[in-house]
């Protein structure tokens, strides 16, 4: 396996470059998806390419997207059908990327795919076309080495992860399910059996307008918003004090409540009568979105104990925009054991196992799709969504190797006589083998 | 005088209606100014109508305006030349109005001039076409009653008060000066010998961006801005503790620092790296703008004692937009005595004498124009700039009477024989007379 990947290193880099050079932002995924579909077809997988139906999705309680039409944004699934009797697995990666942002902050063209010092640069290199490339290489290696798996491998290249997971939701509603799933989001080679969910909220804080020269006649929504910021900090403390999961041992704020936007008032000489706060509430892996929402709402009601102004003028809480359901897989799950073992073998070190500080489509797969999903991938978490995003190419190939070996052990090898002739080298490969 | 005003009540109301029906917002003052000029001409005043020269104004340290060209925005001055030997006075009022804002919040068309229950409605009725009408009626009464004043009366209808006083600045640079001045801004019949100045500022507070899921890797500019808000509250306390002037006795915050606008961050899931606060700093009547600016700058430097983050990332202070210089006239000034006396006589009550909580063009007249200016006028302070602005018509006529009697006493009556024939009733009028 290691050898095959070494031999196909240039081909793998070219594939990632091809993907990075297509700016597959929301609504512009078709070209990249056709490239993926073509490759799956060449690898002899059964290809399913379809544009999700916005109407069906919209009616689903787990749907969130700023759009309701998916013309030009197809999902692609490639099925490597097993010979039977093995465990199936979903390998899921999103093709959509966030926009490049300020081009001047990039050293190279954000869609160059330039390789320098063992790193490949470009928007999406880390989040997560690098991970997708690792998946494709792993499957291709298995195919070309003539290994016949017993269980199905369901490769999914989905749209819309960055905007709330409608692409993965569409695969679930189309009936895709497996015994387990793996998403190679950029964890920097850490393994995440659990992941934080998150939701966006908006709080409007009210004041009473007056001329700034007689500001004592008004009530400043800016001053009142300070109390709300403080109050939310205390809720964050309270929620995090409950988190005892050792997977969060090194995380100072396992489920943060981030206040990302503040906006209020419109005239320097007026007392502002409204301030809006927008933020992201982290949701614990074992918590439900509904529980978290209720806790926030109840907590805000207690603002009136802090300041009687809030009794007559309660802040208005609203949940809007993106949300990601949390996910939790028992760290003792069999897939965890398999990935961990091959990680050790390939990298000659203990893997870091943590709970993720952000959500992925894995929450949907685990919770709704009934397919326990873990997250493990190459790519540098802290570069996602930032200028000069890049991936360390060695990590990509190491991840591909770990994943290929995982597939072999998880799905099982069919070593029955009649088929062996198809894959000349297959007998030489055993699960867990690596260099 | 009282009688003349009673007899000309309908004419006065019509004049104010004519003025209110012209929406003389910034840049659109010409039509209203021509109406004023025509009236001054009919009243036999020497009329000076000119468009201020933007280039000359811009070079002046007291200039502030969002624009540098004044085409279509003439000033009008009407000079009622005295016979000599008396004290001169400037009567100044601005013709510009602020926009009507949300039309749906108005009961009537904002430019209707509708009269209902003794009130006249419309944008500018209170701020300050009502005051201007009182000035014009006072002068007209004196003229029509044949009273010949010894000192000059310089009536000024200026542009641009709402945006920083460039209209009045232009009258000063044109050479207009007098022994004293009066501006009938809407004080609700209070008399203001002193007025607060004000300036707008902007403070940018810096943070460090990070993903909201790992917000502990960043520094929230929203949280840091809370410290700045608190710090500014303390500066306000400190500055106001110094104010011992009895004119501020009833004002809980004589020179407030109002924070009117807050804006920061642009994504709910990101730690915001910048927050901007915009506000208005009140400046004490005897304080200079420079002193106030320096105190604010020094105070912000002390933020690093509160939080070492500010040592490496000091907030950036900027003075922008509008400013009004403060003004202070000794409450024992002769014009104060004269106005107060006629106020008592006309209204049969003691006037309320205070320091104003906002600036007017009076600061410029006093400080730069060397013409001590007091503020007294009809019109309801709290309705200025708001929907359903209106003026109580009785107040307008009372103010006209007080001002007319003030002019007579201040400028003095010329009772020499040769001219008496021109004004048949003049001998019947004495300063201080009223009903």
CA angle B117, B121, B127 (to 5 degrees): 125
Lowest-pLDDT choice from A84-88, A125-129, B102-106, B123-127: B102-106
User: Dihedral of the CA atoms A154, A160, A164, A166 (nearest 10)?
Assistant: -60
- Tell me: cis bond preceding B261? Omega within 30 of 0 counts: no
Q: B130-144 vs B393-411: helix axis angle to the nearest 10?
A: 50
Cβ within 8 Å, pair A260-B212 = yes
pLDDT of residue B386: 85
Question: In Å, what is the CA distance from B60 to each residue of B169, B176, B253, B361, B365?
Answer: 9, 16, 32, 16, 15
Cβ within 8 Å, pair A262-B275 = yes
Residue B426 has pLDDT above 80, yes or no: no
CA angle B133, B134, B135 (to 5 degrees): 90
Chain-centre distance for alpha carbon B214? 51
Interface probe for B, chosen from A261, A276, A318 (most Cβ of B below 10 Å), is A261
Q: Which fold has domain B2-195+326-428?
A: Aminopeptidase (3.40.630)
Please spell the DSSP secondary structure of A84-145, one letter per residue: SSS--EEEEEE--B-----GGG-SS-TT---EETTEEESTTIIIIIHHHHHHHHHHHHHHHT
CB atoms within 10 A of CB B25: 15
What CA–CA distance (Å, rounded) separates B300 from A96? 45
pLDDT of residue B434: 41
Strand partners, A413: A149
Give yes or no for a contact between A389 and A126, defined as CB atoms under 8 angstroms apart: yes
Please spell the DSSP secondary structure of B336-395, one letter per residue: HHHHHHHHHHHHSSPPPEEEESS--THHHHHHTS---EEEE-SS-GGGTTSTT-EEEHHH
pLDDT of residue B210: 87
Residue B328 has pLDDT above 80, yes or no: yes
Instruction: Kindly give the parts of chain A with pLDDT less than 70.
Output: 417-435
Give yes or no for a contact between B309 and B350, defined as CB atoms under 8 angstroms apart: no
**Nearest Cβ partner for B260 among A268, A277, A322:** A268
**Nearest Cβ partner for A280 among B256, B268, B279:** B268
pLDDT of residue A434: 41
The beta strands (E) that lie in B265-333 are given as 274-283, 316-324, 327-328
pLDDT of residue B421: 46
Residues on chain A touching B275 (C-beta within 8 angstroms): 262
Cβ within 8 Å, pair B260-A259 = no
Strand partners, A263: A276, B263
**Nearest Cβ partner for B259 among A222, A233, A384:** A222
Q: Closest residue of A to B212, CA-based?
A: A258
Chain-centre distance for alpha carbon A295? 25
* Greater model confidence, B423 or A313: A313
Residue B429 has pLDDT above 80, yes or no: no
Interface probe for B, chosen from A243, A262, A272, A319 (most Cβ of B below 10 Å), is A262
**CA dihedral sign, ordered A381, A384, A390, A396:** positive
pLDDT of residue A384: 86
CB atoms within 10 A of CB B145: 18
Cβ within 8 Å, pair A258-B213 = yes
Give φ, ψ of A202 to 5 degrees: -135, 135
- pLDDT-derived band at B417, boundaries 50, 70, 90: low
Strand partners, A94: A158
Q: Scanning the structure block, which residue is given the tokens 């326990």?
A: A372
* Closest approach of B404 to chain A, Cα-based (Å): 30
What CA–CA distance (Å, rounded) separates B413 from B426? 9
Average pLDDT rounded to a whole number, residues B250-273? 94
Tell which residue, B138, B21, B125, has the closest CA to residue B78.
B138
Q: Which fold has domain B197-324?
A: Alpha-Beta Plaits (3.30.70)
- Tell me: cis bond preceding B128? Omega within 30 of 0 counts: yes
Interface probe for A, chosen from B208, B262, B276 (most Cβ of A below 10 Å), is B262
Chain-centre distance for alpha carbon A391? 16
Residues on chain A touching B322 (C-beta within 8 angstroms): 269
Per-residue pLDDT tens digits for B54-69? 999 999 989 988 888 9
Residues on chain A touching B258 (C-beta within 8 angstroms): 212-213, 215, 220, 268-271
Cβ within 8 Å, pair A260-B223 = no
Q: What is the interface size between A and B, counted as CB pairs within 8 Å?
A: 166
Average pLDDT rounded to a whole number, residues B346-355? 97
Domain residue ranges in chain B: 2-195+326-428, 197-324
Average pLDDT rounded to a whole number, residues B224-253? 96
ipTM reported for the complex, 2 dp: 0.84
Cβ within 8 Å, pair B269-A214 = no
pLDDT of residue B164: 85
Average pLDDT rounded to a whole number, residues B19-43? 97
| Catalytic (active-site) positions of B | 96, 161
Strand, coil or helix: B243: coil
* Closest approach of B309 to chain A, Cα-based (Å): 19
- Residue B299 falls in which region: left (phi positive, over 0), alpha (psi -120 to 50) or beta: alpha
Give φ, ψ of A321 to 5 degrees: 60, -150
What CA–CA distance (Å, rounded) separates A430 from B264? 56
Q: Scanning the structure block, which residue is given the tokens 């990039």?
A: A106
For B103-155, the three-class secondary structure string (H helix, E strand, C coil) is HHHCCCCCCCCCEECCEEECCCHHHHHHHHHHHHHHHHHHHHCCCCECCCEEE
* Closest approach of B236 to chain A, Cα-based (Å): 12
**Nearest Cβ partner for A262 among B222, B233, B269:** B222
What CA–CA distance (Å, rounded) separates A328 from A62? 17
Residues on chain B touching A256 (C-beta within 8 angstroms): 212-216
Q: Which residues contact A298 (CB under 8 A, 6 or more apart)?
A: none
Q: Report the share of chain B in percent with pLDDT over 90.
A: 85
Query: Do you know the residue count of chain B?
Result: 435
CB atoms within 10 A of CB B73: 25
* Greater model confidence, B425 or B218: B218
Chain-centre distance for alpha carbon B432? 27
What CA–CA distance (Å, rounded) separates B240 from B253? 6
């Amino acid at each position: 396996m290691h050898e095959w990947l070494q031999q196909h290193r240039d081909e793998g880099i070219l594939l990632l470059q091809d993907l990075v050079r297509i700016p597959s932002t929301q609504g512009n995924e078709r070209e990249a998806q056709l490239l993926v579909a073509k490759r799956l077809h060449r690898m002899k997988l059964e290809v399913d390419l379809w544009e999700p139906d916005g109407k069906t999705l919209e009616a689903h309680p787990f749907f969130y997207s700023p759009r309701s039409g998916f013309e030009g944004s197809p999902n692609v699934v490639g099925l490597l059908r097993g010979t039977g009797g093995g465990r199936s697995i979903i390998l899921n990666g999103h093709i959509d990327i966030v926009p490049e942002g300020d081009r001047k902050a990039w050293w190279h063209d954000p869609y160059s795919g330039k390789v320098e010092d063992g790193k490949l640069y470009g928007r999406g290199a880390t989040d997560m076309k690098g991970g997708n490339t690792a998946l494709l290489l792993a499957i291709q290696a298995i195919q070309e080495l003539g290994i016949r798996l017993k269980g199905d491998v369901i490769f999914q290249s989905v749209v819309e992860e960055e905007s709330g997971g409608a692409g993965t939701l569409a695969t679930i509603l189309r009936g895709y399910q497996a015994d387990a799933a793996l998403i190679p989001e950029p964890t920097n080679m850490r393994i995440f059996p659990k992941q934080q969910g998150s939701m966006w909220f908006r709080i409007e804080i009210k004041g009473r307008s007056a001329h700034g020269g007689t500001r004592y006649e008004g009530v400043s929504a800016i001053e009142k918003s300070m109390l709300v910021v403080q109050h939310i900090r205390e809720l964050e403390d309270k929620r995090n004090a409950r988190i005892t999961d050792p997977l969060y041992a090194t995380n100072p704020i396992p489920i943060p409540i981030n206040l990302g936007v503040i906006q209020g008032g419109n005239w320097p000489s007026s007392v502002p009568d409204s301030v809006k706060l927008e933020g992201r509430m982290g949701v614990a892996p074992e918590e439900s979105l509904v529980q978290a929402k209720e806790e926030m709402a109840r907590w805000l009601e207690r603002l009136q104990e802090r300041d009687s102004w809030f009794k007559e003028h309660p802040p208005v809480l609203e949940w809007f925009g993106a949300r990601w359901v949390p996910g939790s897989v028992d760290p003792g799950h069999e897939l965890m054991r398999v990935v961990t073992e091959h990680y050790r073998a390939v990298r000659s070190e203990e893997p870091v196992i943590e709970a993720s500080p952000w959500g992925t489509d894995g929450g949907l797969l685990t919770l709704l799709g009934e397919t326990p999903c873990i997250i493990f991938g190459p790519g540098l978490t802290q570069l996602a969504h930032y200028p000069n995003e890049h991936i360390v190419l060695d990590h990509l190939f190491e991840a591909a190797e770990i994943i290929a070996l995982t597939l072999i052990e998880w799905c099982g090898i069919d070593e029955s006589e009649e088929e062996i002739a198809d894959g000349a080298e297959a007998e030489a490969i055993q699960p867990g083998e690596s260099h």
